[in-house]
Structure 1
Amino acid sequence: MQAYEQLPTAQEAALAKLCSQELAAVIETKLDVQSLALSSPDGQLKQVEIPVSALRLMVNILTELGEGNTVKLVPIHAELTTQEAADLLNVSRPTLIKLLDEGALPFHRTGNRRKVRFNDLRRYQSQLEAQRLLALDELTQLDQELGLGY
């Protein structure tokens, strides 16, 4: 899947923000498919049927661009290189390799290259998030017991 590799300009970000708001306002969430009208370069109006799930994704993408962020779409069944996986986890490639070697994150080999399934990466991220929330709950409980007032 192609990525939007560079940061949006201020003008692009402003337009994306406006578009995300306008699109979000017209999405009919009770439908599976929604019809949109687009004008072609020659000015003709073209009616297009789009899955509402795709429209929601477009709103998310436009929102991110509107905040000045880059966007990369990764298909759910994608196999990532170690560098791509490291980038998505926001860790260095050597740190990711260590996680793979320790068995913290499953992988398989394609030739001499390691590949990480996107689903496995998301599962690992969810586990990390759950562990962080548990630790935060424990710290909060300890603060309460010690009367630290947090």
Structure 2
Amino acid sequence: MQDQTLLPPDAGKEQNLLGALAKQLANDQQGGHALLLGPDGSELELPDPVFQALRDVVSAMSRGLAITVAPHNTMLTTQEAADLLGVSRPTLIKRLEAGEIPYALHGRHRKMRLKDIVAYQHRTWQEREEALDEMAAAGQEAGFHEDTLLPLPQE
């Protein structure tokens, strides 16, 4: 499988169908198994991760966003990884050299697995969330929450 970018349809019938499908998929809380109906009428059971991916793709495309589908073992350049993480290339290189993200050298060029970049992204989100929770708890203990309930001074 190669990387593939899917563009959302232009406004019109297909976009309306995507919007309706996105709403239906978002409201589907059955918990059962999803089925895919083939052009020949055959039914294929979809594993839950495939159904979740389909739901995410349809949701994004219904909002006019393009989607790139790539296998998880894809190797990224430092610029591609930096773009994915939303950081500068020099910042990414500092994190690579600090051992925060595994990489391999191909000649003089660093390459990272998409899987490792996604794992790093997930870790940093969790760390940020935990830090914010700790800050909120400390603020409540210090009584900062009560200060936010006071009316603002009139000028």
TM interval, short-chain normalised: 0.7 to 0.9
Question: Would the alpha carbon gap of residues 49 and 75 (structure 1) be closer, same or farther in structure 2, given more than 3 Å must change?
Answer: farther
Equivalent positions of 1:1-150 (< 5 A) are 1-4=3-6, 9-11=10-12, 13-22=15-24, 30-31=32-33, 34-38=35-39, 46-53=40-47, 54-149=50-145
Q: CA deviation at 1:22?
A: 4.3
Instruction: Report the Cα offset of residue 23 of structure 1.
Output: 5.5
Aligned residues between the structures: 141
CA displacement, residues 94-145 of structure 1 (integer Å, 9 cap, x when unaligned): 2212221222211001233211112211221122112111211121112112
TM-score, normalised to structure 2, is: 0.73
* Greater Rg over alpha carbons, structure: 2
Q: Report the residue type matching 2:101 in the other structure.
A: L
Shift of residue 68, structure 1, vs aligned partner: 2.2
| TM-score, with structure 1 as normaliser | 0.75
Q: Kindly report the root-mean-square deviation, in angstroms, between the aligned alpha carbons of the 2 structures.
A: 2.8
Q: 1:148 to 1:26 in 2, by over 3 A?
A: closer
